[in-house]
Chain A
């Protein structure tokens, strides 16, 4: 073990401890904890408001739609990154290209608006 890796030894030890602790707690609670089996135990929530019906309720697509739209627009931001790091070298051309890129986004956004994807009701 040479000098450079030895510096990571504390990190390794810490990781081992962390993992070990988790494992240990899990095992010990399993072993020493009292275990009662009842219908109540199997419910989703042991306390609080009583859960009723099937968990697989039809969920409102609106949440889903919004989330997906967010992801889509969000991911495109990646392309800003290489542009931003080379902003100066790209110069005006780069800026225009990016403007076009953003404009296309805007078109997408407008389309969604027109299709009323953002209306909650």
Chain B
């Protein structure tokens, strides 16, 4: 089966070419089916490779060289595929979720002029993403990395007629390039240190390196900078919420399930280097935790349904990095895996809602959609429970594993992690109740128009909902009677790390402690959900319009819900205010300013430099002579 592995990335590429060249000439149905099938076949192929692979314990990675690519004396780089535990798991997610999103898009984008263009880009994206995860060396990773960035740029700016969307696209692109600078330098340094780009070679040689080696630390920091850009971590995360300008399936596929997790993939792929650099790991841990909490607080206050999900994505990515920083690579991947399902589900669900609402994204204009959209409602609820981390849905297991690792590291980290989880549960249920319960708050026309989405859209929702329920069972912890399947499966991948640390990477807590941790976090989450329910369902609380800030405080007071009042004034309000503060001051004023400032600096210097070009030959010659004199003087005096 492996000999057909090259087909996996090749087919989406063919699909891309087909849509680009013939997309206009054939009907939309044909475009959508071709594009979807060219993702479905790779999925089937991946499964066909995957099944024999899991049946062997600690299977060796399969490397399939395709073409010789670069050959300079001692350096040979091939186009070659590496099939191992990590790449196969990634491929399953990419092709599986990718296929569902293709199907979904067929319904969602049905009335769009750029239908064939959209599918072309989607296919191209799948191609590059597969290249990214399937390559056996850093160069292929880099090509995929740049390629997905490009597709993301194209898809964010898909509705290019809107200038704001173009700006969002540019912002994403530029921020990603900052990260890419780090990645590229990291790759160059790797080459200098190891004289190779092959993962296997690097892993082989890295085992002998002492922990804390300065070059390795530098490399890992540079790689991490690359990951920060791609995976939207502090301080380069602001592009991701803006990236929601793209069509919703894009948000689901690229900005939730796959591309943004490339940073996580990169670090797991090079886990041995990161294990050798404890300093970098500390940084990653703090950056991840900070991002998780920071984004979660901002999420509390957002009223745009996609913005909430976007900040939630940033926050969940923060969790993954938190886990990576703790050295819990499997936990990070596990969360990536489950998150891909439930976040894609939530995005697609929100797309279904937006579709039904004729493009309305403001939560304050929704409400009571439960009746009109039964399937969307049910699946969305599953997604919400999954992300909130209630057992036995997927999010519970993965989040629990991260939290357990955190506790093993330091209890304070656990508390912070739980805090983030609580906020997640709150804003997600807030979103859920605001959208699906209460009375409808939109216009009459919208209400009249409300309808359940077509089958092409609900089918992926159902599949993803099922996955969100069961995905967690790939790694049920021992304490709950599971067998840590994923941990065992990943053992060969983390062999180097294990060897270096000479102990098992995942946490060892006593069963009692684990029960207590699990129980307390679940209870806390339940409490928060209950609070959200009272606040947004029973009391029908609706966030204030932007035009009347803080007036809701007075309204609340008049309603005399003492608990609410108490909570609002002591806990909720400061948090909400703080969230607003973070958003308005730190993000808008500070981070955005820095990014924009760099751009403005370039523009300004460009303007200035332009005027050196006076058009006057006399001046040019004068400048030349000065230049020549300076050079000659330097030559004489620099000796």
In-complex A–B contact (CB below 8 Å): no
Write the residues of chain B forming the contact surface with A, with a CB cutoff of 8 angstroms: none
Write the residues of chain A forming the contact surface with B, with a CB cutoff of 8 angstroms: none
